[in-house]
């Protein structure tokens, strides 16, 4: 297996505080990997480092074998790594259509994702195109956040807590879309606290505990008790 | 009829104040930066126009057209190489830097042009008037107001009708998330400052034609701009026109009652607004 995106001993700091400790990670082209773990395990910090929002060593992150660590987020997205941030983070003063079109600024190639194909994936967004983004339901806002990242045509789509704060029905819709995106060949890294959602979507998992990897392997090779032990550290 | 005339003159004066305010509002709206040197930059641009006319013998409108692209470049460069370095969590630093810039410009102009009062001339156009609602209205104030509407309309189009405007609005919403869209907020800030310099140069043109100016009048222009922005609502483009008009009408009515009350009346209306409606008429949500 050749890694499309990998980290080697990645460390993440916020000032003097260290959130991630020497993490080795890899995801192959077309694969879906879930990073699970409790609150404060360092999952989101790890994803932010992959997306360039948090500084890291240049050789700590490799894309296609080339070092991309430490590059700013606006360059990372153009090299093909797009982040769906935790809490959606839509532009509140802008319409659904304008939010989606913002994704076009980060285009890294043509993998078939356009405003139209994103609206085909999420037809409700075409109906709500002129509405201000904050007026949508949580699930619809998450669709905008995913669509906005997809429009940059990423090779790797990073999804941070996409089920957070959503109803069970909305979580089902969002993960149905993730399955569809996966079918079209996009490599996906999901950070998730919802174990069922993560295990259902992922080929492999990484479990984080206190900023380190406590368990990794195929999603179907562990039983529930092994995963929970790695999750809570007991 | 006298009061109608007073109000019309006030509304037209509001056009000039809106031009002072538009650049300030744009910069505050996009990067939450209050440029304390804004008024002095208007005065600097007026002196540059004066120098172009007297040294090169250019007609004033031609000098303005030539200066506009250079003004954009200067604004872009100022933001790119100086102000971007001051932006961060501490809002005091950019404020202090623009305050320093203000002192630098005032003293530089004093050395270069002395403290003498100057004026830009549009020749016979300055004394021409047209009949409006039975009132004789000066052509230059009318043109000033029309230009203010065109400038605000153009800014509005840039903001809401173009891809650049989308990036400007998104950067205003979140400098972090916009980076995830492939946009470098520092480049956007530099473009916004360039646009602001273009607008303040147009304001300088009309300020210089309508009134005398010297190196010390910048802070008063900043004050009028700031009052118009606050009355109209921080970050709202069309709000600056409403704010400018309210300020202009208040000053005109004050002057009508007693010429010494002109400036005071404007400040009093501003005071009422910050007590009754501190977020202004059209606050940005």
pLDDT-derived band at B90, boundaries 50, 70, 90 = confident
Q: Where are the domains of chain B?
A: 2-115+132-276
Nearest-CA distance A206 → chain B (Å): 24
Q: How confident is the model at residue B283 (pLDDT cuts 50, 70, 90)?
A: confident
Work out the pLDDT band at B225, boundaries 50, 70, 90: very high
User: How far does CA B216 lie from the centroid of its chain?
Assistant: 17
DSSP conformation class of A109? S
Selecting from A51, A101, A107 the residue whose C-beta is nearest the C-beta of B166 gives A101
- The residue of chain B nearest to residue A108, with distances taken between CA atoms, is B182
Tell me the nearest-neighbour CA distance from B167 into chain A, angstroms.
7
- Measured between CA atoms, the residue of chain B closest to residue A98 is B166
pLDDT at B285: 58
Considering the entire predicted model, what is its pTM?
A: 0.92
Our CA-based measurement puts residue A233 at a distance from the nearest CA of chain B, in whole angstroms, of: 33
Taking the C-alpha atoms of residue A138 and residue A167, their distance in angstroms, rounded to an integer, is 8
What pLDDT score does A220 carry?
83
Mean pLDDT value of segment B203-217: 97
Specify the pLDDT at position A223: 83
Mean of all residue pLDDT scores within chain B: 94
How far is residue B167's CA from residue B173's CA, in Å, rounded to a whole number?
A: 10
What is the C-alpha to C-alpha distance for residues B43 and B37, in angstroms, rounded to an integer? 10
**With contacts defined as CB-CB under 8 Å, which chain A residues touch B176?**
53, 73, 89
Consecutive 10-residue runs of chain A (234 residues): their mean pLDDT?
89 92 94 92 94 92 93 96 95 96 92 93 95 95 97 96 91 93 94 87 93 90 84 80
User: What one-character-per-residue DSSP string does chain B give?
Assistant: -HHHHHHHHHHHHHHHHHHHHHHHHHHHHHH----TTHHHHHHHHHHHHHHHHHHH---HHHHHHHHHHHHHHHHHHHHHHTGGGG-SS-SHHHHHHHHHHHHHHHHHHHHHH-S--B----GGGGG-EEEETTEEEEHHHHHHHHHHHHHHHHHHHHHHHSHHHHHHHHHHH-TTHHHHTT--HHHHHHHHHHHHHHHHHHHHHHHHHHS-B-TT-HHHHHHHHHHHHHHH-TT-HHHHHHHHHHHHHHHHHHHHH-GGGHHHHHHHHHHHHHHH-TT-SS---
Q: What is the CATH number of the domain that holds A34?
A: 3.40.50.300
**Cβ separation B180–A85 shorter than 8 A:** yes
ipTM of the complex: 0.93
Question: Residue A140's domain spans which residues?
Answer: 3-232
Could you tell me if A103 lies within 8 Å of chain B, comparing CB atoms? yes
**pLDDT the model gives residue B111:** 97
Assign B2 a pLDDT band (cuts: 50, 70, 90). Answer: confident
Best residue in A14, A102, A134 for a mutation probing chain B (most B CBs within 10 Å): A102
Distances (CA, A) of B132 to B137, B244, B245, B256: 6, 21, 18, 20
Place of tokens 């669509």: A147
CB contact under 8 A, A74 and B176: no
Residue A91, classed as helix, strand or coil, is coil
Count of domains observed in chain A: 1
* Contact yes or no for B184 and A74 at CB 8 A: yes
User: Which strand (E) or helix (H) includes residue A118?
Assistant: helix A115-121
CA distance B170 to chain A (A): 6
Better-predicted residue by pLDDT, B283 or B55: B55
Q: With contacts defined as CB-CB under 8 Å, which chain B residues touch A145? A: none
Task: Name the token pair of B112.
Answer: 């270069």
């Amino acid at each position: 297996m050749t890694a499309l995106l990998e980290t080697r001993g990645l460390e993440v700091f916020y000032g003097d505080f260290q959130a991630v400790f020497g993490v080795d990670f890899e995801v192959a082209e077309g694969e879906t990997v879930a990073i699970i773990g409790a609150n404060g395990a360092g999952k989101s910090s790890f994803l932010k480092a992959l997306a360039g929002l948090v500084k890291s060593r240049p050789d700590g992150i490799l894309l296609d074998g080339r070092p991309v660590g430490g590059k700013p987020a606006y360059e990372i997205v153009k090299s093909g790594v797009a982040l769906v941030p935790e809490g959606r983070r839509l532009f509140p003063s802008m319409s659904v259509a304008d939010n989606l079109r913002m994704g076009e600024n980060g285009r890294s190639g043509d993998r078939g994702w356009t405003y139209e194909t994103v609206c085909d994936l999420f037809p409700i967004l075409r109906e709500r195109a002129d509405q201000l983004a904050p007026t949508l339901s949580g699930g619809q806002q998450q669709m905008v956040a995913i669509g906005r990242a997809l429009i940059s045509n990423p090779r790797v789509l990073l999804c941070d807590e996409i089920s957070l704060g959503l109803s069970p029905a909305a979580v089902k819709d969002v993960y149905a879309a993730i399955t569809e995106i996966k079918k079209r060949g996009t490599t996906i890294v999901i950070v998730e606290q919802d174990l069922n959602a993560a295990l259902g979507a992922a080929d492999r998992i990484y479990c984080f505990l206190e900023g380190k990897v406590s368990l990794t392997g195929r999603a179907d090779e562990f039983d529930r008790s092994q995963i929970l032990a790695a999750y809570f550290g007991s | 009829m006298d009061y109608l005339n007073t109000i019309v003159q006030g509304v037209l004066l509001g056009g000039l104040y809106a031009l002072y305010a538009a650049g300030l509002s744009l910069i505050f709206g996009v990067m939450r930066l209050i440029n304390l040197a804004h008024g002095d930059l208007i005065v600097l641009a007026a002196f540059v126009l004066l120098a172009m006319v007297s040294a090169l013998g250019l007609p004033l409108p031609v000098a303005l057209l030539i200066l506009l692209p250079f003004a954009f470049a200067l604004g872009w460069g100022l933001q790119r190489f100086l102000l971007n370095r001051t932006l961060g969590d501490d809002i005091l630093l950019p404020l202090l830097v623009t305050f320093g810039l203000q002192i630098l410009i005032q003293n530089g102009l004093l050395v270069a042009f002395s403290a003498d009062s100057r004026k830009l001339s549009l020749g016979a156009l300055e004394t021409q008037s047209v009949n409006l609602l039975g009132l004789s209205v000066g052509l230059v104030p009318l043109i000033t107001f029309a230009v203010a509407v065109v400038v605000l309309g153009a800014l509005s189009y840039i903001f809401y009708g173009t891809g650049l405007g989308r990036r400007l609005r998104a950067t205003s919403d979140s400098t972090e998330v916009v980076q995830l869209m492939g946009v470098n907020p520092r480049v956007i800030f530099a473009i916004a400052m360039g646009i602001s310099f273009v607008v303040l140069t147009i304001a300088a043109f009309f300020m210089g034609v309508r009134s005398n100016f010297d190196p010390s009048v910048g802070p008063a222009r900043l004050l009028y701009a700031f009052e118009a922005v606050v009355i109209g609502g921080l970050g709202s483009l069309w709000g600056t026109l409403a704010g400018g008009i309210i300020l202009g009408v208040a000053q005109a009515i004050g002057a009508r009652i007693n010429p010494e009350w002109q400036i005071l009346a404007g400040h009093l209306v501003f005071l009422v607004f910050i007590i009754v409606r501190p977020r202004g008429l059209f606050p940005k949500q």
